[in-house]
Amino acid sequence: MLLGIFSDSHLGFGSLDRYEEAFNRFDESIGIFKDKSVDYILHAGDLFDHSTPSQEVWHKTMTCFNKNDSKLSNLIKKEITREKKVEVKGIPIIAIHGTHEHRGRDFANALDVLEEANCLLHLHAGYVTLEKNGEKVCIHGLGGVPEKMALQVLQKYNPKPIENTTNLLLLHQSFKEFLPFEDDAIATLSLADLPEGFDLIIDGHLHWTNEQKIGDKRFLLTGSSIFTQMKKLEGEKEKGVFLFDTKTKELEFIPFAQQRKLFYNKLKFDNAKPEEIISKVNEVIATIPLEQKLKPLVRLKLVGTIAKGFSQKDISFSLPENAIFSVTKNFEMSAFKKKIGELKELQKEKKGVIELGIDILEKNVGEAKLEGFDTRRIFELLSLGEVEKAEAVLLKE
C-alpha cells in the first residue's frame, strides 16, 4: 500500500500571493499524490490557519477538495467512546486536527464539517484500519491539544499497535528535543514519551522536515507546506510531501516544483549608531538573490546594543519591493542592560491571554478546593459567551 503524507497547509494564512500560495500548495500536494497513485492520504494537522475559517476560506477549501472527487470509500473509525462509519470521496484523506483548529469539546471542529461533507475522515484519539489485497494498515491519530496537557492526554489515549498489521501514528505537538529551552507551556512531550511498536510516527506542527530513529521508533516531522513563522531551520530545507510504502517501509520525499526561498540573517551590533546598523543591513540585502519566481522571504533579526543617545526609533529602512521582509529589532540600551535581562527571563514565561486566564481560574479553583472541575472547558464556554452551557456543566459537576 502506498500512502501520501503531508501537513500544516494553513489554508487561509496571509494575504495576496501568500494567501493564494497555501491553496496552490494544497492543490499541488493532491496532484502529486494522484500522479503517484497513492492509496490513501494522511494529513498531520493544521489544515486551516484559523479554528473558525471565514466564508471565503471555506469556499476556496471546498474548491480544492472537489478536485479530489471520484468514487466514495467506506471507512470505519474507532474512538474511545464510539465507532463511526465514514464515507470519503476521491483518494481517501485521513486527517487529525492541529493546534490551530483545536476547539473545546462543546464546539464543532472545522475538520468535523469536512468529514460530514465526505471530504476526509477526522481522526482524534482513535484509529482506522485500511485494507488492500489482503494487506492491513492501521492509522492511529491524536489531534493537537494545548501543549501543557499533551503528555497527560497522550498517556490517557495510550495507543496500541494492532498485531499483524502495519501501524502508523499521527500527532500534532511540539517536542522538547526540537526547542531551544524547556517550558511546559511550549512542550511537555519528549521523544522518549512516544509509544512503542509503531512502524512510523508522524508529527506535524513544527514546520521543518526531520527524520529520526529513537531505538526501535521511527519518527518523522513532515514540515509545513508554506512558511508562516520564518524559522531559520525552514530556510535550510525544502518543502514538499512524503510517500510511504507500507510493505518495504521506504519513505520518499518529493519537493514542490517551485520553492519559495527564505533567507535568514541574524546581525549582532555592539554600541552601534543608527547609520552603522542601516549600512550593514543594506550590505546584507545586497548579497541576497531577490529575483525569484516566487517572492523570497527575508528575515532580519537585529540584536545587540545601540550607542548612547539613540533608540530603535532612529533606525528605519527602505526595503526592496521584490521580497517579503520581516525585520525584528531586539536592541538593548546600554544603560538598561540589567533591566532587559530581567525582562528576558520574564519573557520566557510569557503566556497568551487565554492561557493566562485559564491559569488564574485554575488557581482560584484550587484555593476553593473544588475537585473534578474541568477548568479549561468552563473558561472556553465563558470566553465565547456560552453562559447557560457553562452553568449546565457546573451543575453536572
- pLDDT tens for residues 57-78? 999 999 999 999 888 999 999 9
Q: Assess contact for 25 and 225: CB atoms under 8 A.
A: yes
Edge-to-edge strand list for the sheet holding 126-132: 83-89, 72-79, 126-132, 135-141, 166-171, 200-203, 217-221, 210-214
Copy the grid coordinates of residue 114: 469536512
- pLDDT tens for residues 260-292? 999 999 999 999 999 999 999 999 999 999 999
Q: How far apart are CA 87 and CA 75, in angstroms?
A: 6
The CATH number of domain 2-255 is 3.40.1360.10 = no
- Strands, DSSP E only, in 71-148? 72-79, 83-89, 93-95, 121-122, 126-132, 135-141
Q: Assess contact for 151 and 123: CB atoms under 8 A.
A: no
Residue 81 has a pLDDT of 83
Domains in the chain: boundaries:
2-255, 262-338, 353-396
Q: What are phi and psi of 385, to 5 degrees?
A: 75, 15
Residue 336 has a pLDDT of 46
- pLDDT tens for residues 360-372? 777 776 666 666 6
Give the rounded percent of residues in the chain with a pLDDT score beyond 70. 88
Q: How far apart are CA 165 and CA 154, in angstroms?
A: 21
Residue 346 has a pLDDT of 47
In eight-state DSSP terms, residue 132 is: E
Consecutive 10-residue averages of pLDDT for the chain (397 residues): 98 94 97 97 97 96 92 91 93 96 88 96 97 96 94 95 97 92 78 96 96 93 94 90 97 96 94 95 94 93 92 90 92 54 49 62 68 73 74 67
Cα three-residue angle 156-162-164, rounded to 5 degrees = 165
